[in-house]
A and B are shown apart, each in its own frame.
Chain A
Amino acid sequence: AQTVTQSQPEMSVQEAETVTLSCTYDTSESDYYLFWYKQPPSRQMILVIRQEAYKQQNATENRFSVNFQKAAKSFSLKISDSQLGDAAMYFCAYRTAGAGSYQLTFGKGTKLSVIP
């Protein structure tokens, strides 16, 4: 079974600084998807960024980027120029590719605080 590990239960960052959230996963599959979801205090789950395992290029969405290391099974999220609105729980998630796949496996989350 696939597992997703987020080793940092809590992190903090100064406003305008950069922070990196860690995620590692365990799988025997070669083709899969990885996601970072954000959950602000409103509790809505919001997709931040996604990465297809077959793509070597790291995904980027504005101030959010990932460092995808397939061999190391690592998928970290970098937030640049942190803003107060970035304060939230962040969940890393994994999904096997293919028509039969159905489940996202989530890590336990990292709570990010942004200090003004």
Chain B
Amino acid sequence: DADVTQTPRNRITKTGKRIMLECSQTKGHDRMYWYRQDPGLGLRLIYYSFDVKDINKGEISDGYSVSRQAQAKFSLSLESAIPNQTALYFCATSEINPGLAGGTGELFFGEGSRLTVL
């Protein structure tokens, strides 16, 4: 089983619908992230969370919200989806402190959720 699991893998929805993308991890990491990937733009950070009580906006948080239900679960919601939110969404995790215990701060990614908003 994957260490970082995203559901759904693919979703087609209509403008105005509420969508939730879910992420769960078994790596035991405290830090979790949601990234968005668009062709020609690379990956951009939407939200990140250092622990259950610590949630922060990334560079492109408008139109999105998140919930950290537990250390292992981090969901992303689109309250009213619009076509320009059509993208590939990645959940990722990392170690709490990349400077300790030989950690490098690399991200461990889920398999991505492709969202299409019509």
The CA of A50 and the CA of B94, in the complex, are separated in Å by 14
Question: How many residues on the B side are at the interface (Cβ–Cβ under 8 A)?
Answer: 29
Interface-lining segment among A40-48, A64-72, A75-83: A40-48
Residue pair B42, A44 in contact (C-beta under 8 Å): no
Please tell me which one of the listed residues B45, B50, B99, B109 contacts residue A45 in the complex, with CB atoms under 8 A apart.
Answer: B109
Specify the main secondary structure of chain A where it touches its partner. Answer: loop
Q: How many residues of A contact B (CB 8 A)?
A: 24
Are the CB atoms of A106 and B88 closer together than 8 Å? Answer: no
Q: Given A33-B105, A43-B112, A104-B107, do A97 and B98 touch, yes or no (CB 8 Å)?
A: yes
A97 contacts across to B, CB distance below 8 A: 98-99, 105
Judging by beta carbons under 8 Å apart, are B105 and A108 in contact? no
State A13–B71 Cα separation when bound (angstroms).
Answer: 43
Minimum CB–CB distance for A34 against chain B, Å = 10
